[in-house]
Amino acid sequence: MEREPPSLARARAAMVRDQLERRGICSPAVLECMGRVPRHLFVDESLIQHAYQDGPLPIGHGQTISQPYMVALMTEALDLKPEDRVLEIGCGCGYQSAVLAGLCSRVYAVERVPQLFDRARGNLMRLGIRNVSLRLGDGTLGWPDEAPFEAVLAAAYSRDVPEGLRNSLAFGGRLVMPVGDSEGQLLVSFSRGADGKVSRRTLVACRFVPLLRDPKPTAR
């Protein structure tokens, strides 16, 4: 991989310190991983200098790469173990996938916009990340052939957890997603106990794009 300019390495270190640690992200694994993944390689060239700023950025098609803090908070809430398999819905440009891939055994990422799916694939290949399986289609249906997953993450909001995702969660697993409507959402972490019972914990108020359910998922 090409060497990165020192200014970007410094900006990334500052992001970890000022946006993540200062706000209470404390998992050493999450902090280390986000200190390593080159977020600037996931955004448009014209936005590279803004890649480590404290907010979301446009990635085209009306979608955004989430704010670094949101990525950290969702990832930390999944409490990943190295052997876990993660289902990720709405991988966009693939940044969140790359972070998850550094912390678990395999990521199964679904994206519904073909151009973003291609972009995620290109970005992950360029970085030599090989433990992400990508699928183009409607993620609300889950990935039944590979279920259940120890962790499920959706980066787009819905009024309720779609049944396909609920059913994808292993006993003892965690699911994190924004729940709400266009007026506002709450980031919610669901845990499914060993007995199958689901408990819910609200993390923070947030703003995400909607989880769109395709009447006919695009297939290629």
Residues that bind ligand SAH (CB under 6 A): 59, 63-66, 89-93, 95-96, 110-113, 116, 138-140, 155-156, 209, 211-213
Name, in order, each residue with C-beta under 8 angstroms of 120's C-beta and a sequence gap of 6 or more: 91, 92, 93, 94, 97, 109, 111, 134
Q: Is 3 or 99 the residue whose CB approaches ligand SAH more closely?
A: 99
Beta carbon of residue 196, minimum distance to ligand SAH (angstroms, whole number): 25
β-pair type (169-181, 184-192): antiparallel
- Provide the 10 A C-beta neighbour count for residue 67: 18
Q: Which residue is nearest to ligand SAH (CB)?
A: 90
CB 178 within 8 A of CB 156: yes
Beta carbon of residue 92, minimum distance to ligand SAH (angstroms, whole number): 3
Beta carbon of residue 197, minimum distance to ligand SAH (angstroms, whole number): 27
Give yes or no: 66 in active site.
yes
Beta carbon of residue 75, minimum distance to ligand SAH (angstroms, whole number): 11
Q: Is 11 or 59 the residue whose CB approaches ligand SAH more closely?
A: 59
Q: Is 19 or 63 the residue whose CB approaches ligand SAH more closely?
A: 63
Q: Is 111 or 150 the residue whose CB approaches ligand SAH more closely?
A: 111
**Separation of alpha carbons 26 and 5, rounded Å:** 27
Q: Is 155 or 176 the residue whose CB approaches ligand SAH more closely?
A: 155
CB 103 within 8 A of CB 74: no
Active-site entry in 7, 27, 46, 66: 66
Beta carbon of residue 74, minimum distance to ligand SAH (angstroms, whole number): 9
Active-site positions read 66
